[in-house]
Structure 1
Amino acid sequence: MKKYCFALDLKDDPALIAEYEYWHKSENAWPENLQHIREAGITGMEIFRTGNRLFMIMEAEDSFSFERKSAMDAANAKVQDWENLMATFQQPLAWAKPGEKWVLMEKIFAL
Structure 2
Amino acid sequence: MRYCLALDLKDDPILIARYEEFHRNVWPEVIQHLRDHGVVGMEIYRLGIRLFMVMETDDSIFDADRMARAEQSNPVIRQWESLMWEFQAPTPWTPAGRKWIPVNRIFDL
TM-score by length of 2: 0.96
Q: Percent identity?
A: 51
- Could you give the per-residue CA deviations for residues 78-104 of structure 1, whole angstroms, max 9, x where no partner exists? 000000100000000111111110011
2:75 corresponds to 1:77: yes
The corresponding residue for 1:10 is 9
Counterparts of 1:1-111 in structure 2, within 5 Å, are: 2-25=1-24, 28-63=25-60, 64-111=62-109
4+ residue segments displaced more than 2 Å: none
In structure 1, give the amino acid aligned to 2:6: A
Q: Secondary structure at the match of 2:67?
A: helix
Partner Cα separation in structure 1 for residue 3 and residue 28 of structure 2: 23
Q: Which runs of 5+ in 1 are unaligned?
A: none
- Deviation of 1:20 (Å): 0.2
TM-score by length of 1: 0.95
Number of equivalenced pairs = 108
Partner Cα separation in structure 2 for residue 33 and residue 75 of structure 1: 13
- Alignment RMSD (CA, Å): 0.7
